[in-house]
Amino acid sequence: MPLVTSKEMFKKAYDGGYAIGAFNVNNMEIVQGITEAAGKLNAPVILQVSAGARKYAKHVYLTKLVEAAIADVDIPIVLHLDHGADFETCKSCIDGGFTSVMIDGSHHSFEDNIAVTKKVVEYAHERGVTVEGELGRLEGVEDDVKVSAEDSAYTRPEEVEEFVTRTGVDSLAIAIGTSHGAFKFKPGTKPQLRFDILEEVEKRLPGFPIVLHGASSVPQEYAEQINKYGGKMKDAIGVPEDMLRQAAKMAVCKINIDSDLRMAMTATLRKYFAEEPGEFDPRKYLGPARDAIREIVAHKIKNVLGCDGKA
Ligand code: G3H
Ligand code: 13P
Ligand code: ZN
């Protein structure tokens, strides 16, 4: 099956009360782990590529890996640009075979965000590519940009209709208290999301797909395994999975997960090297790391997103 856009996928997800997992890809083992899990569970999936991933692996390697994945598994796959910083980056991905892009104008003023998002939408839609915009700012780290708690801001529901109407975006990322990375909430505090904002957005944009970034749940067993074998992930706290399930049943159609996959790989590799200090064949340790990705993605699909069997 050729790559698809997010249009049909989100419509079905909205109507069906589930969400699609958007997982970040950086190398072959990650692409294989994700798509093998999705293929086995007959689940649609979004493979997303950040600017950092393009820099690390090169655009052409990532698109060719995804091309290999669509030949290998028969499920709908979207190839999406994560956090496109400007028009040029989005254009380069649209011209380079992506079927969906995010233009992240959330750091701009409302008017400047609208201007750059609209420009991307016009270019993308003429070429059959879908666009995700963002309103509100998430705390945390993306590439080299760190957004502090003071600079983060919840989405203002009163702005969403104007933003969507004037830009023509196909989906909208909103800030309701999630954040990027593995340290999302202060230790000792109760993780909370602003479901009231999500509800208000849903009311104002009926039937419109909403996106949740920073949605890793930071499994404690991985954090403990990383700590046990010399890592430093004490106090790592994610978004509780029941909250993500609730969001998936609402207007949230796309849930972004990267940190959990990083943790799965890191926990596996740390344990492996502690137990097999003499091993130096990369296939011996990257194989189990890929297995761990497959396992965590299967868990998300079945227990968090609810998109198994929806391909
Ligand atoms: O939102 C950020 C994603 O986790 C991608 O991270 O920019 O380090 O590739 P990255
Ligand atoms: P996490 O850091 O919670 O995995 O979020 C990933 C993300 O939002 C990518 O855009
Ligand atoms: Zn993000």
| Span 233-242, pLDDT tens digits | 999 999 999 9
List of residues 6+ apart from 242 with CB closer than 8 A:
none
Closest CA to 301 of 244, 240, 224, 251: 244
Cβ(139) – ligand 1 distance below 6 Å: no
- Sign, CA dihedral 292-297-298-299, equals positive
Residue with tokens 């699609």: 20
Q: Please name the residue that has the structure tokens 């997982």.
A: 23
Closest-CA residue, ligand 2 atom 3, reads 214
Task: Find out whether 256 and 214 touch, Cβ atoms under 8 Å.
Answer: yes
Put simply, whether the predicted model's pTM sits higher than 0.85 gets the answer yes
d(CA 203, CA 182): 31
In this predicted structure, what is the pLDDT of residue 140?
72
Measured between alpha carbons, how far is 263 from 95 in angstroms, rounded to an integer?
A: 33
| Tens place of pLDDT per residue across the chain (311 aa) | 999 999 999 999 999 999 999 999 999 999 999 999 999 999 999 999 999 999 999 999 999 999 999 999 999 999 999 999 999 999 999 999 999 999 999 999 999 999 999 999 999 999 999 999 999 998 776 666 666 665 669 999 999 999 999 999 999 999 999 999 999 999 999 999 999 999 999 999 999 999 999 999 999 999 999 999 999 999 999 999 999 999 999 999 999 999 999 999 999 999 999 999 999 999 999 999 999 999 999 999 999 999 999 99
The CATH T-level fold of domain 7-305 is: TIM Barrel (3.20.20)
CA of 83 to the centre of ligand 3 (A): 6
- d(CA 141, CA 183) in angstroms, rounded, equals 10
Q: Are 264 and 295 in contact (CB under 8 A)?
A: yes
Hey, how many other C-beta atoms are within 10 angstroms of the C-beta on 281?
A: 9
Active-site positions read 82
Query: Of 174, 173, 305, 308, whose CA–CA distance to 241 is shortest?
Result: 305
Which residue's alpha carbon is at the smallest distance from atom 2 of ligand 1?
142
Q: CB neighbours of 57 closer than 8 A, spacing ≥ 6?
A: 26, 27
Rounded-to-integer distance, Cα 156 and Cα 154, Å: 6
- The H-assigned helical ranges of the chain are 7-16, 28-40, 51-57, 59-72, 87-95, 110-125, 157-167, 195-204, 220-228, 241-249, 259-275, 282-300
106 lines ligand 2 (CB under 6 A): no
What is the distance, to the nearest Å, from the Cα of residue 60 to the centroid of all Cα atoms in its chain?
Answer: 21
Ligand 1 pocket: which of 47, 81, 143 to mutate (most atoms within 8 A of CB):
143
The tokens for 303 are: 């227990």
Distance CA 22, CA 215 (A): 10
Cα 104 to middle of ligand 3, angstroms: 9
- Cβ contact 16:24 at 8 Å: no
Q: Whole-angstrom Cα distance, residue 271 to residue 253?
A: 35
Q: What is the pLDDT of residue 78?
A: 98
pLDDT in tens, 90-124: 999 999 999 999 999 999 999 999 999 999 999 99
Atom from ligand 1 closest to the CA of residue 56 = 9
